Structure 1
Amino acid sequence: MDWNRLRIFQTVAERGSFTRAGDILELSQSAVSRQIAALEKSLGAVLFHRHSRGLLLTEQGEALYRTAREVSAKLAMTEAQIADSRDRPSGPLKITTTVAFASLILLTSDDLLDLSMREADVAIRMIEPTEPDLVRRHLMTVHSYIYAAPDYLARFGPIETADDLARQRLIIYGQGPLTAIVNPDWLIAISGDPGADGRIVLEANNIYCMREAVESGLGIAALPDYVIWGSQRLQRVLPEYQGPPFDAFFTYAEELRYSKRIGVFRDFLLDEVAKWRS
């Protein structure tokens, strides 16, 4: 099979349309369509169901996509290993972690990317990875507490007992079941029924956004300690209450265990965590 066609096929499968794949590959929609048609002809199989909402893989298409994805990942891994064989660490390093943790040093997403398939090179995760083929290193134990801005407390405080929480405006994550962050909305359980009386004033899609909203005086929130490091505008309230602690891990694929790029970044990250903790 023609590898260039397989690369185009993989992109179409991931993007769900010829047009979006063409934007990524810098090809016209018609050129992408012709390449897929040629691939289907050479294989004697239909790879996509075409309908008005986009493209769906057929059973044969699913099988080919799994193989193309694995081959692509292995090629990327080999390329990285060759690059790391040089004396001086060099080359790009794709990192995945939560938005809040990386707000100080990275551009990120709360999505969990697949390291074994090289969707990213390394991950900083707020849960322990379960994949057997990943190397992991414990970074730190994270604790979360309730925070408010002094301006907010001047208007709506004081907050001296748990009963006072029943009158507070809450900022929550509110995104339903999560895999990247451990129980960010534990404050709700000790705040009465904030949903029933309209006290939830903001549902944010990442923890860093929640911190910014708390600092602005919009409401109170439960925040992990790493996100408030260096902030001069947050005050802990009801310090006897804290959320379930969880561990953060630095992790990467076993094949990259001896990568110089990853070693350099690991040392940098450990130094940064030590500074934040001091």
Structure 2
Amino acid sequence: MDWNDLRFFLEVARTNSLTKSAVKLKVSQSTVSRKISALESSLQTCLFLHHQTGYFLTDAGQKVLRYAEEVEAKVETLEKQMSGRDLTPAGTVRLATAVTLANHLIIPALPRFKACYPDILLELITGVNTVSVLRNDADIALRLVRPEQNSLKIRKVGVIKSAVYGSETYIHEHPAPVDNPIAGRSFITWDESFSHLSSARWLNKHFPDRTSALALTSLVTKIAAVKASLGLAVLPCFIAAQNSELVEVIPPQDVFSEELWLVTHADLIASSRIRVVAEFLMQIIAEAHLA
């Protein structure tokens, strides 16, 4: 059976006329008649009864009509999805990112995203060192290190600046001269197992002889320690900005910045669910003044 013949069958079933069907399909009446005959021959049954008032479906034709309409509906759905006209993105999207970005950038904005796209289930995977977009462990990633694989779609989407901060109370209780802002002040540092982090490397390079008041293994506890007036710490500026009691001691231009990269598999670029997640990330990055 030629699936294309179903188009002619459907039109005749709806118009009850070879002439009207020919006009609608922009072919000759004889072509419509030939297509119907070919379909009947293929199915070995009579699909229409020809009367003076038109063509009417037989019982067998009624059964074929139900199947033909199902095929038509599925083809239309496929065309919409493939052409990008499906306006209701749905499905699961696995997003890999750092804990810092998940807790302080993405999760606070998720209620807004869920309100717009309730049919998308976002799976957040932290600890990106063990997650690979290339291996399809994740659909999309927000990274602080640019991947090297050429087969990935990689975009620079922002810059995360860091500075040295302390609480208002700590700064007041431990005054220091302007030209030596760490004099008489201690730092809250990373545990040795985290010495590979950018903030730890910067601190070790520029202030190797600083006093450490506390060594920690997470940014959340580090922020809590700064707010508890235990010492100074190197923190991302966008996170410090969310805490009004923190005071900038050494500005970001004298500390360091990290580039922010949006990564996805090249084969997934056209996916509407991936696209809306990427647009959401771009929006919140811009709102946090990271773009």
Report the TM-score when normalising by structure 1.
0.60
Cα distance in 1, alignment partners of residues 225 and 253 from structure 2: 21
Say yes or no: does 1:205 pair with 2:217: yes
Matched, 1:193 2:209: yes
1:205-254: CA deviation from partner (whole Å, max 9, x where unpaired): 33343223212222111112222232212110133762232210111111
Residue 148 of structure 2 corresponds to residue 121 of structure 1: no
Alignment of 1:242-253 (within 5 A): 242-253=254-265
Verify: 1:172 aligned to 2:184, yes or no: no
Radius of gyration: which is bigger?
2
Q: Relative to 1, partners in 2 of residues 1:242 and 1:102: Cα closer, same or farther, differing over 3 Å?
A: farther
Shift of 1:126: 0.8
What TM-score does the superposition give when structure 2 sets the normalisation length? Answer: 0.57
C-alpha root-mean-square deviation of aligned residues, in Å?
2.6
Correspondence for 2:175? 157
Matched, 1:223 2:235: yes
> 1:265 pairs with 257, 263, 277, which one?
277
Change (3 A) 1:234 1:94: same
Paired residue type of 1:232: S
The one-letter amino acid of 1:186's match is: W
Deviations 1:91-117 (A, max 9, x none): 121111111122132455334211111
Question: For the Cα contact (< 8 Å) 2:199–2:234, is it kept in 1?
Answer: no
Tell me by how many angstroms 1:145 deviates: 1.0
CA 172–109 in structure 1, closer or farther in 2 if over 3 Å, else same:
farther
What are structure 2's unaligned runs of at least 5 residues? 1-80, 108-123
Provide the C-alpha distance between the structure 2 equivalents of 1:192 and 1:122, rounded to a whole number of angstroms. 38
Partners of 1:108 and 1:158 in 2: CA distance: 42
Q: Which moved more, 1:184-193 or 1:91-100?
A: 184-193
Q: 1:118 to 1:254 in 2, by over 3 A?
A: same
1:90 pairs with 2:90: yes
Match of 1:148 in 2: 166
Contact 2:194 2:200 survives alignment (8 Å): no
Task: Report the 3-state secondary structure (helix = DSSP H, G, I; strand = E; otherwise coil) of the residue aligned with 1:272.
Answer: helix
Between the aligned partners of 2:138 and 2:146, the Cα distance in structure 1 is 17
Say if 2:189 and 2:214, in contact at 8 Å, map to a contact too.
yes
- In the aligned structure 2, how far is the partner of 1:237 from the partner of 1:247? 22
**1:90 to 1:245, Cα distance in 2 relative to 1, 3 A:** same
**AA matched with 1:224:** P
Partner of 1:9: none
User: Contact 1:173–1:203 (CA<8 Å) still a contact in 2?
Assistant: yes
The residue type equivalent to 1:217 in the other structure is S
Q: Secondary structure at the match of 1:92?
A: strand
CA gap 1:240/1:227 in 2 versus in 1, 3 angstroms: closer
Aligned-partner SS, 1:245? strand
Greater per-residue strand proportion = 2
Residue identity in the other structure for 1:271: Q
C-alpha distance in 2 between matches for 1:131 and 1:206: 29
Identity of aligned residues (%): 22
Gapped runs of 5+ residues in structure 1? 1-83
